[in-house]
Chains A and B, each alone.
Chain A
Amino acid sequence: MKLAGQKVAVILTEDGKQVLALASIGLPDSHSISVSVEESEDLGIWIRIPREDQMHFFLLRWEYILGIDLPSGTGRLIGMRA
């Protein structure tokens, strides 16, 4: 599964929630957090964080992730050409 560039909902462990709080990343009240993935790798997923006028990348390690939910997308048909 190619997660790079996708918006996904991540279900975190309690430790994972603490890690994000330490990194000053706001957590919603729901059980999952929605993040944009820059890249996934053996260590975890690099997520995009907006900070002031910059984008930061934050490594969310796999051990803090219980599950990932993402829509498969139905796509959109464009450009019918003869």
Chain B
Amino acid sequence: MDIRVDGYRSTNEDWLTAHRIPFDELPPITDEEKQVAKKLGISAEEYLRSRYAGDLSRKELERRAEVVGALLERWLIQRGLSGTVVGVWLKTLEGRFRVEIERPDGIQIVFLKEDLINDLLDSGSREAQEGLDRLLAANFGFSEAAQAS
């Protein structure tokens, strides 16, 4: 399964960690990154701290993307559908996951709102679970689910 996360979104905890770490402990800046920092109008240090914060948060976002893939695969098995999740792409600016599923008749794309997944993973919301189930059912052609929503 390919996992991809767009952007450099950071949580405030990771941002604070990145601003507390001594400058000399940050990963070194490359020449290419220096150019990017210059274009953005920020110092090399500011660029490095932002990048570090983004790297810290990225691990959790990638983990969530993997969880989304596993959730979908489990849902397919439970519904007796054949298909394999081949990629999960979190588009942070759009706030949604783009999931690619390989099915016997070709690739199917499903979009899931990040808020829905966060509600499910952070609070175990029954509503989110039902919402996800309805959404997937509608995407995979279960007409009763489409009518219910």
| Chain B: minimal CB distance from A45 (Å) | 14
Q: Which of the 9-residue segments A1-9, A13-21, A58-66 touches chain B?
A: A1-9
| Chain A: minimal CB distance from B36 (Å) | 9
Say whether A72 contacts B93, CB under 8 Å.
yes
| Chain A: minimal CB distance from B55 (Å) | 10
Which residues from B are CB-within-8-Å of A53? 20
Say whether B6 contacts A81, CB under 8 Å.
no
Say whether B46 contacts A34, CB under 8 Å.
yes
Say whether B6 contacts A78, CB under 8 Å.
no
Say whether A34 contacts B93, CB under 8 Å.
no
With A6-B8, A48-B12, A53-B20 already in contact, the answer to whether A79 and B3 are too (CB < 8 A) is: yes
Q: Which residue of A lies closest to B38 (CB)?
A: A30
Say whether A75 contacts B89, CB under 8 Å.
yes
Q: Is A74 an interface residue (CB 8 A)?
A: yes
Chain B residues 1 to 49 lying within 8 A of chain A, measured CB to CB, are 1-12, 15-16, 19-20, 40-42, 46
Question: In whole angstroms, what is the CA distance A34 to B51 when docked?
Answer: 13
Chain B residues 48 to 71 lying within 8 A of chain A, measured CB to CB, are 50, 53-54, 57-58, 62, 66
With A2-B92, A6-B92, A48-B15 already in contact, the answer to whether A30 and B41 are too (CB < 8 A) is: yes
Q: Is A43 an interface residue (CB 8 A)?
A: no
Question: In whole angstroms, what is the CA distance A30 to B114 when docked?
Answer: 35
**Residue from the list A6, A71, A72, A80 in contact with B2, Cβ < 8 A:** A80
Q: Tell me the B residues contacting A by CB distance below 8 Å.
A: 1-12, 15-16, 19-20, 40-42, 46, 50, 53-54, 57-58, 62, 66, 89, 92-95, 114
- In the complex, besides A2-B95, A6-B92, A30-B41, 9 extra interface pairs with C-beta distance below 8 angstroms are A1-B94, A2-B92, A2-B114, A5-B92, A7-B10, A7-B50, A28-B41, A38-B12, A75-B4
